[in-house]
Each structure stands twice: as C-alpha cells, then as structure tokens.
Amino acid sequence: MFAAASLTGTFTELGSASRPPIRARRCGSTSAPARRCPRRSSRARPPTCFAAASPATMKTVTDASLAGAPATFVRNKLQIAVPADNPAEVDEFEDLADARVKVALCAPQVPCGAAAVKALDAAGLKVTPVTLEQDVKATLTKVELGEVDAALVYRTDVIAAAGKVKGIAFPEADQAIHDYPIATLTRGARR
C-alpha cells in the first residue's frame, strides 16, 4: 500500500500486525505530485491501495485514473501543541496571535496548513508564524525541540508524541475537520 507521509507510521504498525504482513510505503509529502506515487511500485509486490492525507491529493490520483472511488476512512482535527511545560503559557487559540508567542504552522498547500487556515479564518485570527513546515511531523518537531511555543497539528499527532507535548483543544477546530480518503489502485497503476 502507498500512504501519505503522515499515515505511514500508523499503516506500518497495522501492516506488521496483519497476517500476512502488509508493507506501507511512504508516498512523500502530500504537496508532492501524488499521481506519481502509484507508478513507483515494485514489480514483485505492487501495492493495491493508496491512503491519502487529503481529498485534494486523492483527487489527483483518481483524476489520473490510477485509483477507484475513494472512501473516507478516518477524520481528524487540529489541536494546539505546546511543550509539556508550556513556558509561553498558551491556554487558548487567541494566544497564538500574541506577537511574543512563537508559532509554527504547516505550509498552506499541505493538508495541516489548509486546515490551520480554515480554523484561523473561522476565528478571525491573524497569526504570524515563525516557520511554515512542509508536513505535520516537521511542525510538531519544532514544538518537541522547544524551537517554538506552539503549533497547530492534528490531535493524533499530539497523542503520538506521548507526553512530549501537551494538546489544547479549541472550538474553531470543528470548522476544519480533516478527512482521510483511501482507494484501491487500478490495474494500470500497479504495473
């Protein structure tokens, strides 16, 4: 199976527990041309499905006739991630607009960045990030390393950080629910 970068950890864990084991191959960041991912398969064991990190990414694959009709298999939403000790004392979404708070966001062209833009727009909040990262893992790493005071990442990434960061829920995240689609690859994509 091919999976978006943000999904490979989960699918690798699930795949290794299945019998026979299923191998998840990282398809790069979601901003990469996804329609090329299915064509990177090995002839020995071509992948049979593709899990994308966004409906837009899946659309590039289905528009190229490389996959069948997608289905949403899970939904996610944003949280504010802060270091476990929260030195900037970020408690709510509005705190991200404070010029003294160093914020990391995903770049707007990747799913976590698009979700952040929706949530910020819903709140009418203007945030000036100190960095724009190319995927959610890199954005979260900035918080884990203490390079920023806060970041907008998915709730599941906060959970996966296992105590290295603290997650803060905020109501505007409901305006940016994120769907993850999965689809079976067509025969042409598996050649």
The residue-averaged pLDDT of 62-80 equals: 93
80: closest CA among 128, 151, 129, 143?
151
Of 63, 61, 51, 67, nearest in space to 179 by CA: 51
d(CA 82, CA 168): 8
pLDDT at residue number 63: 92
All CATH 3.40.190.10 domain ranges in the chain, comma separated: 76-176
Each residue's pLDDT tens digit, 73-126? 989 999 999 999 999 999 999 999 999 999 999 999 988 999 999 999 999 999
- Report the distance separating Cα 149 and Cα 120, nearest Å: 17
Q: Yes or no: say if 132 and 103 are a contact pair by the CB < 8 Å rule.
A: no
Is the pLDDT reported for residue 140 higher than 80? yes
Question: Is the preceding omega at residue 20 within 30 degrees of 0, hence cis?
Answer: yes
pLDDT of amino acid 4: 73
Tens of pLDDT along 5-60? 667 677 777 777 777 776 666 555 544 435 455 555 445 567 788 888 888 889 98
Q: Does domain 76-176 have CATH number 3.30.450.70?
A: no
pLDDT for the residue 122 = 94
Report pLDDT for 24.
Answer: 65
Per residue in 166-177, is it b (16+ CB within 10 Å) or e — as a string?
A: bbbebebbeebe
Q: Is the model's pTM score more than 0.85?
A: no
